[in-house]
Amino acid sequence: MASNGMNKQHWPLVKFGDVVKNVNLVARDPISKGINKIVGLEHMDPENLHIRRWNTPENGTSFTRKFVPGQTLFGKRRAYQRKVAFAEFEGICSGDILTFEPRDSKVLLSELLPFICQTDAFFDYALGTSAGSLSPRTSWKALKDFEFPLPPIEKQKNIAKILWAADEAIECWEQVIKELESSKQAILIDHFGTSLRRNVPWPTQKLHEVASVQTGIAKGKKYSYLEDLVTLPYLRVANVKDGYFDLSEFKEINVRNDEVERYAVHAGDVLLTEGGDFDKLGRRAVWLGSIDPCLHQNHVFCARTNTEKF
């Protein structure tokens, strides 16, 4: 957070538990109390302060922890998922969600608290205090000792105002992106989906008539000799997302010099996933040549347009 002229080194260092309390409100019969929203960890999106999804209590729930507007919800299980939300309605939440609020609104603003919980320092501390192998959890007992610099209340108001304005801008742009994506899909379906069943006078062609389609290099490919081998990065199913590539982690593979061109991807190639779990099947993106040379795995198809025909 920027200091805007005030040196934040002069801000007092406070413990989280000295200015924040973990509220344990209980509601065992939400329907009778007029509560109609049940929130689990699966309803909290990483790095998004807004809760857009929830269950309803008609089918029953084992959750009893109540939260109210203005509280900050923090997912204590698998803290690396970075799940923090600012409550904008009343509801019941999972026991794996901690409910925070300031001890004194004259010392700490409730509107600033979720951003403090979103900082890298807070998440690093939560991860460092988590226990368990399959489903690590942190605890209020551990989190209350987290230390951070606390600005004066007037400075907090300015910081919170800027951060919430930025959050609103992000929300607006994300909505615009969703609407543009929906429009794009509608146009594609209209021209290349349902239009094929309307008897329009457009010629149809098979994919191989306008593009070459090839599989990539097998991960366990064996070579009888080690001479003339080069080590290059290659694209896996995990790297191919819907419409973009995740290049945060690359793996490398050995290949002969004379095979590099056979398995290399070129700018403009369309990469399509063939393997992996069902949710990974059929993801596609256009390679822009971010890394050159780069190969592709046999579970990732490469379609290269014949520019003379298409």
Domains delineated in the chain: 8-166 (3.90.220.20), 207-305 (no CATH)
Euclidean distance between CA atoms 150 and 292, whole angstroms: 47
Q: What is the DSSP letter of 70?
A: T
* Mean of the per-residue pLDDT values of the chain: 88
Which one is predicted more confidently, 152 or 208? 152
Query: Which H, E and C letters describe 175-214, residue by residue?
Result: HHHHHHHHHHHHHHHHHHCHHHHCCCCCCCCCHHHHEEEE
pLDDT in tens, 107-147: 999 999 999 999 999 999 999 999 987 789 999 999 999 99
Tokens of 292: 């050159």
Cα–Cα distances (Å) from 221 to 111, 204, 213, 229, 253, in that order, read 56, 38, 20, 12, 9
Task: Please report which confidence band the pLDDT of residue 259 belongs to, taking 50, 70 and 90 as the band edges.
Answer: confident
What per-residue confidence (pLDDT) applies to 201?
65
Q: What's the whole-model pTM score?
A: 0.66
What per-residue confidence (pLDDT) applies to 2?
41
pLDDT in tens, 177-211: 999 989 988 887 777 765 555 566 677 778 888 88
